[in-house]
Structure 1
Amino acid sequence: MSGTSLDGVDAAMVLTDGHRIDAFGKTGYRPYTAEERLVLRAALGRWHDDDVAQAAETVLSAHAALLGDFDGAEIVGFHGQTLAHEPRGRGTHQAGDGAALARALGLPVVWDFRSADVAMGGEGAPLAPFFHHACARHIGATRPVAFLNLGGVGNLTWVDPRIEAPEAEGALLAFDTGPANAPINDLVGERLGLDCDRDGALARQGRVADGALERFLAEPYFSRMPPKSLDRDDFKVIRRLVRDLSDADAAATMTAMAAAAVMRGIEHCPEPPERVLVTGGGRLNPVMMRMLDAGLDCPVEPVEAAGLDGDMLEAQAFAFLAVRVARGLPTSGPSTTGVPAPVGGGQLSRP
């Protein structure tokens, strides 16, 4: 998995039949270099040009280098790097050639997970919810729980583990909550040359700007019913709202926006979750976690509290989904992406 934060590539092994999780295995991480991040950033929002071709090559080489260290894999799920996501427009675009990766690794590779869903009228995102359903059952949950991924974009999965099949009515509700770490990362990168606001150190020093949250939450996205999804660089209003703020105040305000978007999103859940399990880089930001804990009426915990790996959950998700694709099982449905009927996305390329 190479996510919208553009930090690097995560890889993880999962033993699964596509229904249940039997075991988690080896994990690994390969950070992008500063030069590689520049290449990827230059291609964001693009579809077909030299920058996109260079980004695709960067993604392929980084994945091949990391996956070369994994022995014993029978199949690989390759998400690629999302450069553009317009489900109601041009579609969705993840850079990276799965057929070329299959040749490089000598293994079957499942890739292009989102296009089939979008072609059938779905949002194409989020795609981790079917895996979250398996996780909820794996950890022994008996009441509804929510998985909150705070990556570049925030997304929420509400799971009822009492329902056996993820595609069954009432088992899942999933959607993007709003921007999360991407605007903060971009801000501290442009102003201070940093990759992120590590440990929320900058936000901790600032104060939330008066009126900013109200103007942010007035965006039409929040009045739309889920399922719904976002591109990494949606919500350009954030830049305008923090443009004249100090670095610390801007970071504090953007962190509060990410948390407020989640609070608004929780209102859509069919019933309140017993707990919210947080994955992604946002769970390592104590300022963001305190804001969520203060604003939600249930425990907010990192997924590690349930014995899961918050750094690797998305990579594990695409391993799980690869097996589902290979076995002809659906990977998304009406309550996760808004697609009219359950659909199995993904192309399978053999070496």
Structure 2
Amino acid sequence: MLRTGPVTALGTMSGTSLDGVDAAVVITDGETIFEFGDSAYRPYSAAERQVIAAALGRWPGQEGVEAAAEVVETAHAEVLSRFSGIDLVGFHGQTLAHDPGRGRTHQAGDGDVLAHALGLPVIWDFRSSDMQMGGQGAPLAPFFHFACAQWIGAAAPVVFVNLGGVGNLTWVNPAHISPDAPGALLAFDTGPANAPLNDLMQARRGMAFDRDAALAAQGAVNEDLVQEVLQRSYFMKMPPKSLDRDDFADVLGLVADYSDADAAATLTALAAASVARGLEHCPEHPAQLLVTGGGRKNPLMMEMLIERCGLPARQVEAVGLNGDMLEAQAFAFLAVRVLAGLPTSAPGTTGVGAAIGGGRVSRPSAQ
């Protein structure tokens, strides 16, 4: 059943950095953002993170996947139950594997389980329809970024950069009236961001991430290695294009003989350099970069981003957005689009043949 008018939607994101579950409210009709509501965060414990990490790269039915799904569902149910006055939930799940070359993707977590636990409609499995129609299935936040560009009153092209486990960017031309209009959006994964750095920190220091770049700031960048990685075919490939979290996992081996500080500095530089290389694909350079994701809190990564891109780069908070919750808000927004029968991806965002909607709707048994 299609919905019209403002809807109070609650979106979630459990990202590739495996830190926890973000949940955020957006009041929207799926086209215009009317208001941003409350948000909450539920971190994964070290044990929970270990269960999910053990299932990375695996597909339904393989060892460890069921246990990971249970952790994801339990954590989501806990944080989502804190909210009231919600019309529907947009549930992304936890990506365990993503293989666009073979048209398949795997997000752990079942929307039916959450719908029954919360007593609310849950929209989930956002990527499958896009991939069935030849798209990459990612990234999916660009349609929301388009609405954000309108919300902040952008008059010229702007680029949103998300520095999560994987980096991605969305080039937005706000002159268009809808996100699926030709030329309105270009989006793609830029390359590795925090995932290799976080994995390094966990392996060498037993820490989840390099807080405030304390370790990387002490090291020296091996620029030859950065440039060597940038010669890989992925960076030459024309967008749209997308990555799995572990597509660049081998770079850890490339820094195996480096000191901890030099390895951290080099991986931090690689994240920034990947974005700079990605900007070469944009129709025109923007006036600025608006940065979201955990990487925006890394002062060295931000400094390197500005230096390598030759553009001002600001945290999205500078324009009134919430960088901690932007992806969760995106899936609240997309959930409303699904229920309204609107497209959620287009040729410029995922490479799908034509603008297409996605998502499954699970309802509580009483509905």
- Which of 230, 240, 250 in structure 1 is aligned with 2:243? 230
SS in 2 for 1:88: helix
Q: TM-score, normalised by structure 1?
A: 0.99
- Counterparts of 2:81 and 2:275, CA distance in 1: 37
1:138-164 deviations in Å (ceiling 9; x for gaps): 000000000000000000000001101
1:137 to 2:150 alignment:
yes
SS in 2 for 1:211: helix
- Which of 80, 90, 93 in structure 2 is aligned with 1:67? 80
Whether the 8 Å contact between 1:216 and 1:237 is mirrored in structure 2 is no
What percentage of residue pairs aligned between the two structures are identical? 66
Q: Equivalent residue for 1:272?
A: 285
- Counterparts of 1:308 and 1:239, CA distance in 2: 33
- Counterparts of 2:235 and 2:307, CA distance in 1: 20
SS in 2 for 1:323: helix
1:78 to 2:91 alignment:
yes
Q: Equivalent residue for 2:177?
A: 164
Whether the 8 Å contact between 1:102 and 1:350 is mirrored in structure 2 is yes
1:114 to 2:138 alignment:
no
Q: Equivalent residue for 2:189?
A: 176
AA matched with 1:21? I
- Counterparts of 1:158 and 1:207, CA distance in 2: 31
Q: Equivalent residue for 2:5?
A: none
Aligned length: 351
Q: Equivalent residue for 2:49?
A: 37
Q: Equivalent residue for 2:202?
A: 189
> How far off is 1:60 after superposition?
0.3
The worse-fitting range, judged by mean Cα deviation, of 296-305 and 101-110 is: 296-305
- Counterparts of 2:57 and 2:307, CA distance in 1: 35
- Which of 13, 21, 32 in structure 2 is aligned with 1:20? 32
Unaligned runs of 5+ in 1: none
1:65-111 deviations in Å (ceiling 9; x for gaps): 00000001101000000000001126000000001100000000000
- Counterparts of 2:36 and 2:88, CA distance in 1: 15
- Counterparts of 2:251 and 2:83, CA distance in 1: 40
1:245-265 deviations in Å (ceiling 9; x for gaps): 000000000000000000000
- Counterparts of 1:339 and 1:143, CA distance in 2: 26
1:127 to 2:144 alignment:
no
- Counterparts of 1:253 and 1:204, CA distance in 2: 10
Whether the 8 Å contact between 2:216 and 2:262 is mirrored in structure 1 is yes
Q: Equivalent residue for 1:288?
A: 301
- Counterparts of 2:269 and 2:149, CA distance in 1: 28
The worse-fitting range, judged by mean Cα deviation, of 207-216 and 19-28 is: 207-216
AA matched with 2:351? G
SS in 2 for 1:40: helix
Whether the 8 Å contact between 2:97 and 2:107 is mirrored in structure 1 is yes
Q: Equivalent residue for 2:114?
A: 101
1:328 to 2:351 alignment:
no
SS in 1 for 2:318: helix
CA RMSD of aligned residues (A): 0.8
